Structure 1
Amino acid sequence: MLTDVICYICIAYKLIKWLAYRFLTNGDSDSMSCLMGKTAIVTGGNSGVGCATATLLASRGCRVIIADVVDAEESKIAIIEQTNNNQVTSKILDLSSLKSVRKFARNIIENEEKIDILVNNAGIGTTSKTITEDGLNTMMQVNFFGAFLLTHLLIEPLKTSKDARVIFTGSCMVYLSRLRLDNIKDIFNITEYELNIYNSYMIYQNAKLCNVLAAQEFAERLQKYNIRVYSADPGMVRSKLYNCFIGESIRNVSFLFLISQLIAGSSLNGAQTNFHLASSRSPRESGQHFYRCRRFCKPKILEDKQFCKEIWKATEVLVKLKPEEKL
């Protein structure tokens, strides 16, 4: 009982701190770096925070590859017009299909000399499918498993860069995740469940927690290659994901909806931390979590090395990593 109380106090403290950062800090990046000569991949770059991230990177002269499940031709053209940088391309990537992830990675390896920046931004908040063609939980696969596999498959082109950066997308919801050592088998890759708002929130929280975990664990394994890995919380952003996931669930509760509208920022605002971690010379703490361009606290469960080890091992199995692909 006492342990639960302490746990709730810790969660409340981190969420209050998160809110304080939202209103009391300037969330804009102070990076002045030129990115000409660098190549970046932004997953989910067709809209929202992904598109804003791609735009910010392109505005500094970076060559940007938009990777999305839909045709991103219109977004590509808009970014080129906005930044006057014609080095923006788009490729199809369906994170709900391990086959698609492997196909995309092969295409990158065959056509790109190096990758300097990988922004694992793509994600969903709702879905009409509980299970993917790979037999995995759809939301977990799109929000976490796919990015985990993609990062493994792109290690070689990342190693070729002199200062590669990999960024995983987190959320304030990581502090609410109830994923623990004793329930990994039950809720980590849950495939038999009812599609409702409660389960959607639970799975989303778990996926975002795993992204922060992945950044921490990849950082340790990739340090020898001078590849820095971070997790970034974009904050609450008025995007398609917000409208279909956060907004819809509380739209009928006027007070909560008003508060969410005050907290939520623009996609450009939400992309600042991604951009900062991808371009700035200052964030040297690989493996750390950032919010509003500042280092932020992680969920306490990530201090449990055994928990992190079990999640990593289970994910290796679920995404069918080959022995030679493991780190």
Structure 2
Amino acid sequence: MKMRWSAALLTAAMGLAHAQSTVTLYGIVDTGLSYYNHATANGGTSVGMASLTGRLPSRWGLRGAEDLGGGFKTFFALENGFQPTNGTLNYGGRLFGIQANVGISSDYGAVTLGRQFGMTMYALLNADVIGPSIHSLSVFDSYLPNARSDNAIGYMGKFRGLTIGGTYSFGRDAAGPAGPGGTNCPGQVPGNMLACRQYTALLAYDSANFGVAASYDVLRGGAGATPPLNNSAYTDTHNIVDGYVVFGSAKIGLGWIRNNMATATHFQSDIFFAGATYYATPALFFDAQGVRYLQRGADGKKDANSTLLIARGNYLLSKRTMVYTSVGYMFNSAQAANAVAAGGTVGAGMNQLGVTAGLQQKF
């Protein structure tokens, strides 16, 4: 009897030693004070706290992994997005709106199930030096910082610098229409295989000194979803081609984003961006980016064009704490009303200056 128990305990101990697991709690709290002119139709100013995002959107999450042996691992990610100004949830009011998924990985890549990033997010990751900041590409296309899918299966493999990835969602967005992160398109409707489907694809190459990426992202509509994607025959397509190069302490990134929306009326826009990051010291670095936005209406004419210039200074007080200042200036055409900041407002045809000073803490 003692021998049997000893053997059982030894087997269990060997199994626990073999299947090692880790769980990590992490997060970012990031906000600041902002100033904007021309925030109303009569040219009024706005002063207050940055709401939707600072330098990066605030979040906290849990990430875990377990080594199964033989080169296989299981993993999970639960990540929450929130507004530090008032404590409310972002991403359509979801508890884990940034991601909530589980998967398995090996040398041949990783398969992920659940709410996860689409390939649009990965395509922009290296070339867009500003990222999802308060003054950024997102002011022209709110989908870009919210490029995620519910009910999705995804694959990503990395092979000597080459990255191949894709996702397929059976119902891309199960949250109600609360902000840009919720469009009420849960899909998975019996008898309608197209409703709220989404598929994305990525092909990228990265080396020590340069990288290129291309992605394809199609969202389908569904009955009852937020207009204009309120019909399963309607689509919203994003194509991205971008790249970057590194020269010593500097990095230059540039790219092109096309958005085609085929609904009751056709909409097309193009975003061209070019930017650079320069490290003056390991603690002090600067970012700058220029963005050109061209919008075409149903008649094909360019009727609402804008140019955004961004400059940002960043200083690391420690490995986890940063102070920063971001300045953006938006030039709007006569029919354009693109605000300089995410979630902001501006009078039609007015240019706008935005300044933010913020504090970011990571844990």
Structure of larger gyration radius: 2
Structure that is richer in helix per residue? 1
Greater RCO between the two (CA within 8 Å, min separation 6)? Answer: 1
TM-score of the aligned structures, taking structure 2 as reference length? 0.28
